[in-house]
A and B are shown apart, each in its own frame.
Chain A
Amino acid sequence: MQDTADHEARLSHALGRWGAEGHRLLQLLHAVQTPSGYLAQDALQDLAQRLDLPLAHVRGVASFYSFLSTEPVGEFRVLFSDSITDRMEGSAELLDRMCRRLWVEPGRVSDDGLVSIGTTSCTGLCDQGPALLVNGRAIPRLDAARVDRICELILGREPVSRWPEQLFVIDDVIQRSDVLLRQQFPPGEALAAARRLAPAEVIAAVTRAGLRGRGGAGFPTGAKWAACAATAGPERYIVCNADEGEPGTFKDRVLLSRHADLVIEGMTIAAYAVGATRGLLYLRGEYLFLRDAIEAALERRRGAGLLGEWAPVPFDVELHLGAGAYVCGEESALLESLEGRRGIPRNRPPYPVTHGYRNRPTVVNNVETLCAVALIMLGGAAAYRSVGTQESAGTKLLSVAGDCARRGVYEFPFGVTVRQVLQAAGAGDAIAVQVGGPSGTCISVDEFDRTVCFEDLATGGAFTVFDRRRDMFEVARNYTHFFAHESCGFCTPCRVGTSMLARVVDKIHDGHGSRHELAELDQLIAALGKGAHCGLGHTAMNPVRDTLLRFAPAYERRLASTDFAPAFDLDAALAPARRMTGRDDPAAHLGDAS
C-alpha cells in the first residue's frame, strides 16, 4: 500500500514536471518508476489513463528499455557492467562474491525482496572498471573490499542516497590533450564569434573546416546543417546525441563532465546556423550522475543570457534521459526515443534533416562534433582543417581501455597510427585492438601501422587493447552477446540473427562446435550484413567475422573433429534431476566421462 501511495506521489510530480503529453512517455516512466526501476501494473495503468494512451502501448515502451522493469526488482537493483574490459578485470568473480554475500542468484530477486543482481551493457567506465549501477547510480573501481562495503550497506537497508559519496566518485582521466581539450574560453565567446558571421557563413565555415560526424559514421556536418537550413521550417531542432553506448567508449562522458559549456555552445551555434529554436540533449541513462551538472550548466547559461527564449540566439535545451538501449545511439532510433516511443530505427528516406523530431527538420550531432564546432568558430576553419588527414580534419578523442598501463581519454590528430596510440598508452604487449568498439574493426599485430581516420579505421572513439593473455574468441563471444541483448527486434535478420550468432558461438565455446557451425556462422554473417535494417544489425557480426579472419586458431582448437555434433548434452540435462535427488555419484551420470 505504501508503494501505491508512493507511485501516486511520483506520478503527480512527474506530470507536473513533464506535462501529460504522450511524447514525453519515456521521461514520465523514468519519473514514475520506483527508485530501483520497477513499474508495477497499476503505475502503468494510471499513466496510460492520464496520457490517454493504450495500456499496451505504455507497456510496450516500458518493456523496451533495460532500466525500466515491468517485473519486480529488488529494493536495491544492482547491475554489473558486462563490458569485455569489466570481465577482464574480474567483474564475474565480483558479481559472484556479491551474490554469495547477499544470498541471491543472479537475475533473481532475493526472497525478502531486498536485492536483485544482474548485468548490464557497458556503463562507459572502462578506464576505471569494473563498474556497477545500483539503483541507477554508477560505482567504479570495484574490488572485493568495495563489493563487501556495498553488501553491508544493502544489508543495512541504507538508502542509496545516503551511501558514502566516495563510492560514487568518477574520475575524468585525460591522458593526452590536443587542440580541443586544450581549449579554454569563457562561455559565449565561440557563440559571439559565430554571430559575427551570417548563419550561412557559419555553415560554410564548418564545411570548409572539413568537420565530419564523430559518432563514427563521419557524415559531413556542414552538409547536414545545410540540408536542415534549406527546409521550409517552421520549427527546427538541434539534438545532441549523448547516448554513448558503444562498449569501450567513454570520451563523451568526459566531455560532458569537463566541457559541458563547449557542448551546449556547439548546440547553440548549430541552432543559430540552421535557424532552430529548440534543442534536446539525449543523455544515456548510465550517465545519470552527469544530469545535475548539465542541468546546472544550462541554468547558468540561461542566467548569463546565452540560452533561452530571450537570448540573442533564441534557443533552449531540454535534457532527456535514456533508459538502457544501445540502439538509441542510432539517430532515428534516438528521435523515436525522444518522442517517448520504443527506440526503433526509422525507415529512410525521409531523413531527420527534413523529418526528424516530431516530424520537424532536425540536426542530430554527436557530443564531440558539437565541441569541434565551437572550436572552429574560435580558431577558424583553416586552422582546424590544417590538423588531421586529407579526408579527416581535426582531432579525434579516443577512449583507451583494456590491457595498457595508462587508460583514459587521448586526443590525437586524425591519422595517428594504432602503434602510436599503443605506445602512448603503454601497451607494449598488445596482440589485438578493437577500434571503434564491437561495431568497429578488430585488428591484429601486423596491422598496427594502420591509421585512425575515416579513410582507414573509422571509430566513434572506442580503442580497446588486448594483450597475449586474452583469448580473442572470448572477446568476440562477449561482443556477440552484447548485440543479441541490444537488438531492437524490428527486423528479422537482426532479431533472430544476432541471437543465433550468440547461440552458435556458445555452442563452439561449449565444445560442441564443428565444421557445420562455421558454415552456419557464414550464413548468419551474410544475412546480417546484407539484410539488416540499421547500423546495429549491419555491424553485429563484425566481432565474429574479424576474429575468424585474424584469430582462426582460437576457433579451430575448440571444434570437434566431426562434421556435426549435437548441442544437446544428455548428462547436463540430467543436472536438475540430480539436484532434486541430492545425488552426484557416478551412477547418476551418463556419457564417456564416467
Chain B
Amino acid sequence: MSGTFLLDGVAVPFVAGQSVLQAALAAGRYIPHLCYHPEFRPHGSCKLCTATVQGRLVASCTTPATADLVVQSNTDELREIRRTLVQMLFAEGNHFCPSCEKSGNCQLQALGSDLGVTTAGFRHYFPDRPVDASHPGAWIDFNRCVLCELCVRASAEVDGKNVFAISGRGLTKHLIVNAPSGRLGDTDFEVTDKAMGVCPVGAILPKRVGFAVPIGSRRFDLRPISAQALDDAPRPGGRPDV
C-alpha cells in the first residue's frame, strides 16, 4: 500500500508501514518530536509530535499513514501544546543548559529554542537525583533524563544487554540500571553500545570528551533541529538534495 495524505494542505507520499511522522520526515516536512528516533519503533510517549489527524489529536509517530488522511501540524493550537510539553519537561527535571556539556547537541534544548520556549513557565520541581559516575567510560546524570526510553530500547533491542529499565509510576517514574547495586559500573555496559549514543539529552554521556567540540559549533548551534531532523530521516529513495 502506498499513496498520499494531506499535511497542512500539502500532499505527502507514504509507503506501507510508515507512520504519519515517518512519512512526513521522509518527505522533508518537519513535525517536532523527541522520543522518536529513526532507527527505533515509534514510542509515542513524549507527545511532542501530536497532530490533528482526521480532526482528532493523536501522536503522529504512532499513527499509521493511510491514504487521504487530513493532517494538521503547523497550527497555533498545536504549537501551544508543544510549548507546554517542553516547559513541563524543563520543570520536571533539572536542566541547566549553561552548565551542561550536551548544550548545542541537546534535542530538548533545540526544541525549546525552535518552539520559542524561553522559560519553564511552571514552578520547577528540583528533584533530588544523584549522578552515577561509577562507570569508567560513561556517566549518567539522571537530572536531565526526559524518559524517552531510547536507551532502554537500544540496550534491549540492539545491544542485547537490558542495561536500563523504567521504575516507579507517575511523577516518580525514573530510569534505573540493571544491577543489584543499581550502578552503571556494575553492568556490562560499554561506551560503544547503541544505548550510549542514542540519548537525545545530556543524561548518558561519555567521559573525557565533553568539550572536544566547543559550544557554539555543535549540531544545533549550526542548524535548527527542524532542519537537522530532516537530514537524519531515512528516505526510501536515498538522501534527497538538501
A533 cross-chain contacts in B, Cβ below 8 A: 44-45, 47, 59
CB-based nearest B residue for A58:
B165
> Are A488 and B85 in contact, with the CB atoms below 8 A?
no
A56 touching B62 in the complex, CB below 8 Å, given contacts A520-B122, A527-B81:
no
**Is A60 interfacial (CB 8 A cutoff)?**
yes
> Are B176 and A495 in contact, with the CB atoms below 8 A?
no
**What count of chain A residues pass the 8 Å CB interface test?**
41
Q: Encode contact with B along A513-528: 1 for CB under 8 Å, 0 otherwise.
A: 0000000100110110
> Are B171 and A56 in contact, with the CB atoms below 8 A?
no
Query: A54's contact among B47, B57, B173, B178, by CB below 8 Å, is which?
Result: B178
Within 8 A of B (CB), among A48-85: 54-57, 59-60, 63-64
A530 touching B81 in the complex, CB below 8 Å, given contacts A56-B164, A493-B47, A496-B91:
yes
Within 8 A of A (CB), among B120-146: 121-123
CB-based nearest A residue for B77:
A530
> Are B170 and A487 in contact, with the CB atoms below 8 A?
yes
A500 touching B88 in the complex, CB below 8 Å, given contacts A490-B45, A533-B45:
yes
Q: Encode contact with B along A486-505: 1 for CB under 8 Å, 0 otherwise.
A: 11111111011111100100
Task: Tell me the bound Cα distance from A526 to B85 in angstroms.
Answer: 11
Query: A488's contact among B62, B84, B92, B170, by CB below 8 Å, is which?
Result: B170
**Is B228 interfacial (CB 8 A cutoff)?**
no
Q: Encode contact with A along B103-127: 1 for CB under 8 Å, 0 otherwise.
A: 0000000000000000001110000
B167 cross-chain contacts in A, Cβ below 8 A: 56, 59-60, 63-64
**Is B28 interfacial (CB 8 A cutoff)?**
no
Chain B nearest CB from A117 CB (Å) reads 20
The residue in A349, A492, A520 that gathers the most chain B C-beta atoms within 10 A of its C-beta is A492
> Are A56 and B177 in contact, with the CB atoms below 8 A?
yes
> Are B171 and A496 in contact, with the CB atoms below 8 A?
yes
> Are A57 and B162 in contact, with the CB atoms below 8 A?
yes
A488 cross-chain contacts in B, Cβ below 8 A: 169-170, 173
Task: Tell me the bound Cα distance from A498 to B88 in angstroms.
Answer: 11
> Are B88 and A492 in contact, with the CB atoms below 8 A?
yes
**Is A45 interfacial (CB 8 A cutoff)?**
yes
Query: B165's contact among A41, A45, A54, A347, by CB below 8 Å, is which?
Result: A54
CB-based nearest A residue for B64:
A349
CB-based nearest B residue for A484:
B170
A530 cross-chain contacts in B, Cβ below 8 A: 50, 57, 77, 81
A64 cross-chain contacts in B, Cβ below 8 A: 167-169
Q: Is the interface of B mostly helix, strand, loop or mixed?
A: mixed
> Are A342 and B166 in contact, with the CB atoms below 8 A?
yes
**Is A291 interfacial (CB 8 A cutoff)?**
no
> Are A496 and B92 in contact, with the CB atoms below 8 A?
yes
Task: Tell me the bound Cα distance from A174 to B148 in angstroms.
Answer: 47
Task: Tell me the bound Cα distance from A63 to B174 in angstroms.
Answer: 10
CB-based nearest B residue for A493:
B47
**Is A531 interfacial (CB 8 A cutoff)?**
yes
A532 cross-chain contacts in B, Cβ below 8 A: 47
A495 touching B171 in the complex, CB below 8 Å, given contacts A57-B165, A59-B165, A526-B84:
yes
B121 cross-chain contacts in A, Cβ below 8 A: 523
Within 8 A of A (CB), among B14-28: none
The residue in B46, B88, B169, B180 that gathers the most chain A C-beta atoms within 10 A of its C-beta is B169
> Are A45 and B180 in contact, with the CB atoms below 8 A?
yes
CB-based nearest A residue for B164:
A56
Within 8 A of A (CB), among B170-206: 170-173, 176-180
> Are B50 and A55 in contact, with the CB atoms below 8 A?
no
CB-based nearest B residue for A520:
B122
Task: Tell me the bound Cα distance from A481 to B226 in angstroms.
Answer: 37
Task: Tell me the bound Cα distance from A575 to B165 in angstroms.
Answer: 38
**Is B67 interfacial (CB 8 A cutoff)?**
no
A489 cross-chain contacts in B, Cβ below 8 A: 147, 168-173
Query: A495's contact among B173, B179, B180, by CB below 8 Å, is which?
Result: B173
> Are A487 and B47 in contact, with the CB atoms below 8 A?
no
CB-based nearest A residue for B62:
A347
**Is A567 interfacial (CB 8 A cutoff)?**
yes
A486 touching B162 in the complex, CB below 8 Å, given contacts A41-B180, A503-B123, A531-B47:
no
Task: Tell me the bound Cα distance from A30 to B171 in angstroms.
Answer: 24
B172 cross-chain contacts in A, Cβ below 8 A: 489
A56 touching B165 in the complex, CB below 8 Å, given contacts A491-B45, A496-B171, A530-B81:
yes
Q: Encode contact with A along B73-114: 1 for CB under 8 Å, 0 otherwise.
A: 000010011001100110110000000000000000000000
Interface on A for B, CB 8 Å cutoff? 41, 45, 54-57, 59-60, 63-64, 325, 342, 347, 349, 484-493, 495-500, 503, 520, 523-524, 526-527, 530-533, 567
Minimum-distance CB pairs A-B, first 9: A489-B173, A56-B165, A56-B178, A496-B88, A487-B170, A54-B162, A347-B62, A499-B171, A63-B167
Please name 10 further chain A to chain B contacts, defined as beta carbons within 8 Å, in addition to the given A57-B165, A493-B84, A567-B123, sorted by A numbering: A54-B162, A56-B176, A59-B165, A59-B176, A347-B44, A489-B169, A491-B47, A496-B91, A500-B122, A532-B47
Interface on B for A, CB 8 Å cutoff? 42, 44-48, 50, 57, 59, 62, 64, 77, 80-81, 84-85, 88-89, 91-92, 121-123, 147, 162, 164-173, 176-180
